[in-house]
Amino acid sequence: MSKVNFPFGNADVQTKSYAAAIAITAENTKTIVNIGQLTGGLALTVVPDPELKKGAELLVKLQSDGTARDTTLGSGFTGVTVAGVINKTKYATFIYDGSTFVNTAVTQVN
């Protein structure tokens, strides 16, 4: 891991276009992922950098279109499916426990 880690540098902000399956790479102690508007269900996985420390945070923006779009958490995550709501945006928050990113909260913001 060669990046400067938050809080001594910026958080890693990633923008991903919607796809049915998206893989996130987490290298920084704070990673923010903005996923384009979901137009179908999403299968989300994460690959933590081998040097990532326990306590690293991951924030994922999930925005449904005119249909409620669910996000299924796959490898690298511990948690249940994040249920979408029609035309609403949710943020899912995760904390790294040394082996997986554990879902700690889901907040709808609009």
- Expressed as residue numbers, the domain containing 27 is 12-108
With respect to residue 7, please indicate whether it lies within any of the assigned structural domains.
no
pLDDT digits (tens, 9 = 90+) for 5-55: 777 788 999 999 999 999 999 999 999 999 999 999 999 999 999 999 999
With respect to residue 66, please indicate whether it lies within any of the assigned structural domains.
yes
With respect to residue 3, please indicate whether it lies within any of the assigned structural domains.
no
Q: Report the CATH number at residue 93.
A: 2.60.120
With respect to residue 36, please indicate whether it lies within any of the assigned structural domains.
yes
Q: Residues with Cβ < 8 Å from 2, sequence gap 6 or more?
A: none
pTM of the model: 0.93
With respect to residue 102, please indicate whether it lies within any of the assigned structural domains.
yes
Residue 83 near residue 64 (C-beta atoms within 8 A)? no
Count the domains in the chain: 1
With respect to residue 104, please indicate whether it lies within any of the assigned structural domains.
yes
